[in-house]
Structure 1
Amino acid sequence: MILAASLFPFMCFGIGFILNTIAIFYGSLAAIPFGTMVVVFIIWAFISFPLALLGTVVGRNWSGSPNNPCRVKTIPRPIPEKKWYLTPSIISLMGGLLPFGSIFIEMYFVFTSFWNYKVYYVYGFMLLVFLILIIVTMCVTIVGTYFLLNAENYHWQWTSFFSAASTAVYVYLYSVYYYYMKTKMSGFFQTSFYFGYTLMFCLGLGILCGAVGYLGSTLFVRRIYRNIKCD
């Protein structure tokens, strides 16, 4: 509960603090005043963090005990040996390829508008690409979960999350290509700012895609096991 409410903000705050220290060292106007950082931390500590804890407590009390669609054994069954391409690591790594392919072209325009100071105005098309990303992510994660269950591996929860979240890894790799091939940036200051802020963007994207993938897999698993008849 505490980890869910603080991990992502702390990671972004840590990256932002390092980048701000570099900006102050170079005397850049991009440096954020210390007072502003304190205000942001206070907002997180007294508004965002308590609301996250409150939402977790309310959600647990609202849902009550787990409502499994079928009977669950108390003794875990051993997972049989499986082929290398059915391991959770391979499924997680390959799961982000198709979602990244659905946003590959749009990423060029997003990076160009942000780092090359071009005006981005096709927000309707961005919304369409976002919806396609959500649909493709859910479909790919459901397929990966099906392969795991078919291989008698019931540890699908984190695999479904990382399978969808790996989209952010491919986006970050694309940002490396974009930096060297499409920009004229050089020097430690520009490089650190580019990869630092891109890392924060990819962290948020990974959590978003991971949550969507886990939700889709959960609905899929509950749906198929709801039809199982147990004595």
Structure 2
Amino acid sequence: MSAMSISLKSRLSAAGIHLTISLAVAAAAAWLVFGLWYPYPYREISGGRELFFIVIAVDVIMGPLLTLTVFNRNKPVSELRRDVSVIGLLQIAALAYGLWTVSVARPVHLVFEMDRFRVVHAIEVPEAELDQAPPELQRLPWTGPTLLALRAFENNKERMDMTLVALGGAPLGARPRLWQDYEKGKLEIIAVAKPLSDLKIRFPAQAGLIDAASRSALGASKSGTALGYLPLAGRDQYWTAVLDLNTTEVIAFVPLDSF
């Protein structure tokens, strides 16, 4: 076997080992992102899947390719160790930056907002206003979105101020000063929720999808439960939230724009 073949074989072997390690790290990162930060359906609604795959594709491809390029057993051990260490540090830095980018865009709350639900993302919440939220809501969650509702405006001035803020592109659901416990919005939610049967009338071709989503969430034991729906606004997508009208629990999500 020629020296060139031996060199290529050793490079491919080193790159293969590096790829295996990179894939293991990517699997752990996927559990973090999709298991905690972007549980279903937020990986779809909030674009978490696309963000994550861009990060991982760059990281998984970059490291092994660099190893394939620089690995050479003829190099002094100290030089080879230095090269591999630099590649590892570059890869770790790229992964850390990518995960940070995904984390600041993560969904933190699903907020009932007047006549709809809105997915609120960490980057949308003004950090300086967090101390205006109820004490238990002044830290943004890291384990998936929590359910909240907006309180009533305190006076006409606040209504006008918040309306102007919303018209400027900042959703009301992202204003900590308006947050309240989800249970406190129960009566308003029931008042504006529409019967699920209306949704099937609006989207007859998707009636099977709607029924399947609600059946899957409820199970056979609660098949007679009164169900309703409200539109759901995400980052750049619109879905529908299916509700148990007795408890106002959000039991399912359907990829339909019901606005």
Bigger share in helix: 1
User: Given the two structures, how large is their TM-score scaled by the length of structure 2?
Assistant: 0.24
Bigger share in strand: 2
User: Given the two structures, how large is their TM-score scaled by the length of structure 1?
Assistant: 0.27
Higher relative contact order (CA 8 A, sep 6+): 1
